[in-house]
Chain A
Amino acid sequence: MSPRTVLRVVAFLVASSAIAAAVAGTADHSRFDVLKGPFATAEDVTKACSTCHTEAAGEVKKSIHWTWDGTNSFTGQRLGKPRIMNSFCGSPISNEPRCTSCHAGYGWTDLRKTPEENGATVDCLACHDGSGTYKKTATDAGHPLYSPRVIGGVTVEPPDLAKAAMSVGPSQRENCGACHFNGGGGDGVKHGDLDSSLTDPPRDLDVHMAADGANMACSTCHTFNAHIPSGSRYMTTAVDPHGLDLPHDDHNRATCESCHGTAPHAEAKINDHTDRVACQSCHISEFARGGVATKTLWDWSTAGRKDADGKPVYIKDEHGHLVYSAEKGDFAYGENVRPTYLWYNGEIEQTAVTDKLDDKIKDDILTLNRIGGSPTDGKSRIWPFKEMKGKQPYDPELNTLVVNHVFGKDDSAFWTNFDYPKAIAFGMNYAGLPWSGKIGFIETRMYWPITHMVAPKEKAVPCSDCHTRDPEGRLAGLGGFYMPGRDGSRLLDIVGYLALFGALFGVVVHGALRIILSRGHRS
């Protein structure tokens, strides 16, 4: 066996042992009396879990799933939802019970304080429910329903907490997906490479998670160590020189190299690319491939339109996608989208609510997260991104973004009152931030690294998609380095073709003269 085959086998064993561990266990949770309920609240379930898993909640409270707080070790920037702006809903501040529905806890009702200061408790079921019935409702700061409620005209029943408690096990794709597939407020909205199609994906869509592929769970790669997840969009491992992670190694398998090594191809020339091109760039030719559209544009500046009867306007396109909403403005969607490619060294500079925008605006466009990297820094690779276009409210005088209070049963929330000055005044006041009272709209861009939806190798991007002179080539816009097939010297080409065709022309003329003149001789 060649060393490569050995590595493959080892990687396979690691992956399959992780999967095996996910299905087999020595404890049947349905037989524990403490889990049989009945439970009045979901917090009671957590208490029951903690009778055996005494340290688990404490571990969770150290993870970003709980704190929504982290410091970027590359840039020193303090990150986390309460501080960082995005081009979707802007900021969760003042919109808590809606936005904290995806917090790994119950009762974080005020983002100005930590979850502990809010008296929140850890939610075990969100990640460990195995019954598929547990669901955090969208507007209750992380709680599920406890009694039937009419939502969007339909009566929704509360989940059976005892059933959920007795079903617990390792996290399944659905568990992670409940929040991560729905970022930005709906299925597939935010990332483009994460949506509900990954719950049970066909092999073409995701070779790792497909049942007839490797059938992996999210946590097979995003290994958890004491409830701390690995893999981060805030601090991406853009190049992983560490390569293969064997059992008991660094417990971080969130890079392709962790299982595939740094030279996974049979062909040397293809391996020669791995130092400059991220695996994802060739192996995820398009995102949003599972039949779920992702949002590619969100223009807040048009929000608030009402019809003649004073009713808010909502318009759907032929696919049933909302393309205009009085609450949110204009939308555009994409399916099977070709990514945008950028040099990326893992550093992303995010925009905080408090940041001055001056140096982040170029050509009247604000880049919300500046992607670090260059062809020459020796740390970057070409990565695929989803480019999200936006137009967002900001303070043109203080040159900062603003907190838009969208959700709530009060007289200021934008989604019920459609009044920007009121909503923003409320949001900025709530956040305790200075605001000039002026509102402008600025065009924004945001870049989301694409790393999921890895296709089978037969579906990898062909060489000629990048190595081409075609202005539509995938890397046509990425300058600063020589790439065969795309680059060259115009002057050299002109001289070269002149020499070539000059020679051809010369011999043709010479040959013709020979023929003509030799006839003259004979006659």
Chain B
Amino acid sequence: MSHKREVMIYTRYERFWHWSQAVLVFTLFFTGLAIHGTHDLVPFGLAVKIHTNAALLLIALWVFTTFWNFTTGQWRQYLFKKGVFRVIRFYAWGILFGEPHPYKKSLQRKQNALQSLAYMTFMTLIGPALWSTGIAYLLYNSWSHYAWSGTGIWAVALLHTAAAFAMGAFVVVHVYMTTTGKTPLHYVRTMVTGYDSIELTEVEEAYIEETKSTEMR
């Protein structure tokens, strides 16, 4: 027998990290586009100030989160899982016709295969591309005396801009995907409260009740 129970699957730190990252990335994208010259809703000088500070906060957050991911073992959530194509097929097609999700959320597997792949890309490609070029951009004056610095700053700025566009596209799709739960706001509510209803085996249920390894209601 298995039961559906409301279990805390996103701890307080995870939620804090997720939402502060969301705010920072949004801020960085918005001010980044102001720096880029796309819009002038914030004046350039202010945009640079906000962008720099938000970037430093984001880097700090990422350092902490990487630490958290490794100490808690949560990094395993991001590992490659089989069945990506089934998930892709589901989102492209099945979902339109009311097919069930090919993936079941479980305590040990919070993410489906596509999510893992997407977040892995985020963490190992887009993120590093942004912070590495961003830091190089920020520290331009410490390498501006080299003969190649003219081409260098151009390349750094272009890579940073390219990564920012990738980040923007990622966020658009990511935000849309949050509406694909049971109800359009289901996933968002989960990320706010931390609780989701998960099918637990009796053993799991008993284990959680006994050890209080996570909150359950």
Q: B52 at the A/B interface (Cβ < 8 Å)? A: yes
State the majority secondary structure of interface residues on B: helix
Verify A485–B166 contact, CB threshold 8 A: no
Verify B98–A488 contact, CB threshold 8 A: no
Tell me the total A-B contact number using a CB cutoff of 8 A: 97
Q: B150 at the A/B interface (Cβ < 8 Å)? A: yes
Q: Of all chain B residues, which has the CB nearest A484? A: B35
User: Given A464, A503, A504, A513, which contacts B44 in the complex, CB threshold below 8 Å?
Assistant: A464
Q: Which residues of B contact A518 (CB under 8 A)?
A: 98
Taking residues whose C-beta sits less than 8 angstroms from the other chain, chain B's interface range is 35 or more
Verify B44–A485 contact, CB threshold 8 A: yes
Q: Which residues of B contact A272 (CB under 8 A)?
A: 140-141
Q: B123 at the A/B interface (Cβ < 8 Å)? A: no
Q: A500 at the A/B interface (Cβ < 8 Å)? A: yes
Q: Of all chain A residues, which has the CB nearest B166? A: A499
Verify A468–B141 contact, CB threshold 8 A: no
Given contacts A376-B150, A469-B37, contact A492 B161 (CB under 8 A): yes
Report Cα–Cα, A487/B147, bound state, in Å.
Answer: 20
Taking residues whose C-beta sits less than 8 angstroms from the other chain, chain A's interface range is 35 or more
Verify A464–B158 contact, CB threshold 8 A: no
Q: B118 at the A/B interface (Cβ < 8 Å)? A: no
Verify A488–B150 contact, CB threshold 8 A: no
Report Cα–Cα, A495/B48, bound state, in Å.
Answer: 24
CB of B177 to closest CB in A, whole Å: 8
Q: A496 at the A/B interface (Cβ < 8 Å)? A: yes
Binding-face segment, B76-84, B109-117, B167-175, B189-197: B167-175
Report Cα–Cα, A463/B37, bound state, in Å.
Answer: 12
Verify A517–B169 contact, CB threshold 8 A: no
CB of B195 to closest CB in A, whole Å: 25
Verify A488–B45 contact, CB threshold 8 A: no
Q: Which residues of A contact B49 (CB under 8 A)?
A: 267, 269
Report Cα–Cα, A482/B136, bound state, in Å.
Answer: 14
User: Given A462, A467, A482, which contacts B150 in the complex, CB threshold below 8 Å?
Assistant: A482
Q: Which residues of A contact B154 (CB under 8 A)?
A: 482, 487
Given contacts A482-B157, A507-B176, contact A514 B43 (CB under 8 A): no
Verify A496–B45 contact, CB threshold 8 A: no
CB of B1 to closest CB in A, whole Å: 30
User: Given B140, B147, B158, B179, which contacts A511 in the complex, CB threshold below 8 Å?
Assistant: B179
Verify A514–B166 contact, CB threshold 8 A: no
Verify B37–A468 contact, CB threshold 8 A: yes
CB of B182 to closest CB in A, whole Å: 12
Q: B201 at the A/B interface (Cβ < 8 Å)? A: no
Q: Which of B37, B157, B172 has the most CB of A within 10 A?
A: B37
Verify B37–A502 contact, CB threshold 8 A: no
Verify B36–A485 contact, CB threshold 8 A: yes
Given contacts A482-B157, A499-B169, A503-B172, contact A488 B48 (CB under 8 A): no
Q: Which residues of B contact A497 (CB under 8 A)?
A: 165
Q: B217 at the A/B interface (Cβ < 8 Å)? A: no
User: Given A375, A492, A514, which contacts B96 in the complex, CB threshold below 8 Å?
Assistant: A514
CB of A296 to closest CB in B, whole Å: 29
Shortest Cβ-Cβ A-B pairs, 10 listed: A496-B165, A463-B45, A507-B176, A464-B44, A469-B37, A503-B169, A463-B44, A503-B172, A482-B154, A467-B44
Question: Which B residues lie at the A interface, using CB under 8 A?
Answer: 35-37, 40, 43-45, 48-49, 52, 95-98, 140-141, 144-145, 147, 150, 153-154, 157-158, 161-162, 164-166, 168-169, 172-173, 176, 179-180
Question: Which A residues lie at the B interface, using CB under 8 A?
Answer: 267, 269, 272, 275-276, 375-376, 378, 462-464, 467-469, 480-482, 484-489, 492-493, 495-497, 499-500, 502-504, 506-507, 510-511, 513-514, 517-518, 521
Q: Can you list 28 pairs linking A and B with CB atoms under 8 Å apart? A: A269-B49, A272-B140, A376-B147, A376-B150, A462-B43, A463-B48, A464-B40, A467-B37, A482-B153, A482-B154, A482-B157, A484-B157, A485-B37, A485-B44, A489-B158, A489-B161, A492-B162, A492-B165, A496-B161, A499-B166, A500-B169, A500-B172, A503-B172, A503-B173, A507-B172, A511-B179, A514-B95, A521-B98
